[in-house]
Amino acid sequence: MSFKFGWVYKLVWYKMQRLRATAIRLYSHHLGKKTLLASSFAVPPLSKRPRLCDRFPALIRNMSTSVSTSGAKEFVVSENTFQQEVLLSSVGDLHGGVVVNVEQPLDSMVFAPMLKASISHWTQQGKRGVWIKLPIQQANLVEAAVKEGFRYHHAEPDYLMLVYWIPEATDMLPANASHRVGIGAFVMNSQREVLVVQEKNGQFKGTGLWKFPTGVVEEGEDICTAAIREVKEETGIETEFVEVLAFRQSHKSFFRKSDLFFVCMLQPHSFDIQKQTSEIEAAQWMPFEDYAAQPFVREHEMFNYVAKISKAKSENDDDVAGFSPLSTTTSTGKKCSLYFSRDLKHLVTRDSKQRQEG
């Protein structure tokens, strides 16, 4: 009988350690003590564990905690002692919140109590917003987070971001990106022919409409670079960016997101069309008057406005000033492009000259 109950105690002890997310003891020199980190989860083999009745008193004594300089919580324990709670490793953000980047694989039964304890800890610290970045391999943790009050913020191909607002005051967490950015390319050759395409897919498929090459600006891509790339991809024509002629804003355009569309003027440097077979049904150089005379262009106000602006620019370049890009930096030193009217170029040139002389 004693042999039988001895194994029962061992099994109970083993289950308790797994449910409480205990880990193997890691030796370090931090503060001259042994620490137990949230990123270390492993349970020694059952055969090497002492009986529960021998170890139980150690579970309720000599427990103390300290906070590491990196912001991750460390639980300092004396030898032969295990801590019952482990917090998620996090870093502070610039707005009084924390960011959790789950990098190591976790079971949802391990993650749930860690998250609950972490929220309590962050609340005591007066933290505000909580951001949890889950790699796609850790999608199994979403349910546990949602049960604690987290919600979706945004998703990328390789991760999902969840957010939680701790204070009872109004939620001040910023919303996800609100706009998608696209370009349309106005390319005219010396014979006043404009580069146009017919799309193989999309809303204009099968309509017979000839339109400017268009596309979406990629993440981290400048508007001017996107215009050059889209023209090259769809028609094979090499171009040089000139300026932005106009831009349009619309709402609830793409999965409830707003849309910014920039009409860009480009100068062609090649003329032999090689259309993109996967996306483009046909491409050609078309006399501008024929393009503007299409019933769709004449009847749809926005298309008609763009045609008139493009025509005015091509006929009176000096009188119609678009927006040209200026490479500069933000207050934090990041590279960016500032688009300004060509009429103000003399101000930028003068300022640049003064900086060089100074």
Which pLDDT does position 357 carry in this prediction?
56
Cα angle for residues 79, 48, 13 (degrees, 5° grid)? 75
CA distances from 346 to 170, 238, 341 (A): 47, 29, 10
Name every residue whose Cβ is closer than 8 Å to that of residue 211 and which is 6 or more positions away in sequence: 184, 196, 197, 198, 199, 204
Domain residue ranges in the chain: 1-86, 88-176, 179-320, 324-357
- Would you identify the CATH topology of the domain 179-320? Nucleoside Triphosphate Pyrophosphohydrolase (3.90.79)
Which pLDDT does position 356 carry in this prediction?
53
- Taking the C-alpha atoms of residue 81 and residue 66, their distance in angstroms, rounded to an integer, is 16
Tell me if 266 sits within 8 A of 230, measured CB to CB.
no
- Taking the C-alpha atoms of residue 277 and residue 280, their distance in angstroms, rounded to an integer, is 6
One-letter amino acid identity for 88? L
Single pTM value for the model: 0.70
Cα angle for residues 253, 258, 259 (degrees, 5° grid)? 80
For 192-245, where are the alpha helices, taking DSSP H only?
223-235
Domain 88-176: assigned CATH number: 3.40.630.30
Size of the chain in residues: 358
Q: Which residues are catalytic?
A: 233
Which pLDDT does position 319 carry in this prediction?
75
- Taking the C-alpha atoms of residue 185 and residue 190, their distance in angstroms, rounded to an integer, is 16
- Taking the C-alpha atoms of residue 217 and residue 181, their distance in angstroms, rounded to an integer, is 6
Strand 73-77 relative to strand 63-67: parallel, antiparallel, unpaired? antiparallel
Q: Would the CA dihedral through 130, 135, 138, 139 be positive or negative?
A: positive
Residue written as token pair 């024929």: 290
CA dihedral 68, 71, 75, 78 (to 10 degrees): 0
User: Tell me, what DSSP letter sits at residue 344?
Assistant: G
- Taking the C-alpha atoms of residue 357 and residue 15, their distance in angstroms, rounded to an integer, is 74
Mind listing the pLDDT tens digit of every residue in the chain (358 residues)? 444 445 545 555 555 555 554 443 333 333 333 334 444 444 444 444 444 444 434 333 333 333 333 334 444 443 444 445 689 999 999 999 999 999 999 999 999 999 999 999 999 999 999 999 999 999 999 999 999 999 999 999 999 999 999 999 999 999 999 999 999 999 999 999 999 999 999 999 999 999 999 999 999 999 999 999 999 999 999 999 999 999 999 999 888 899 999 999 999 999 999 999 999 999 999 999 999 999 999 999 999 999 999 999 999 877 778 888 888 899 989 999 888 887 776 676 655 555 555 5
- Taking the C-alpha atoms of residue 241 and residue 138, their distance in angstroms, rounded to an integer, is 43
* Count of other CB atoms within 10 angstroms of residue 30: 15
Cα within 13 Å of Cα(195), Cβ side: 32
Of the candidates 223, 268, 230, 221, which has an alpha carbon nearest to the alpha carbon of residue 246?
Answer: 223
Q: How much is the CA Rg of the chain, to the nearest whole Å? A: 31
Strand 91-92 relative to strand 98-101: parallel, antiparallel, unpaired? antiparallel
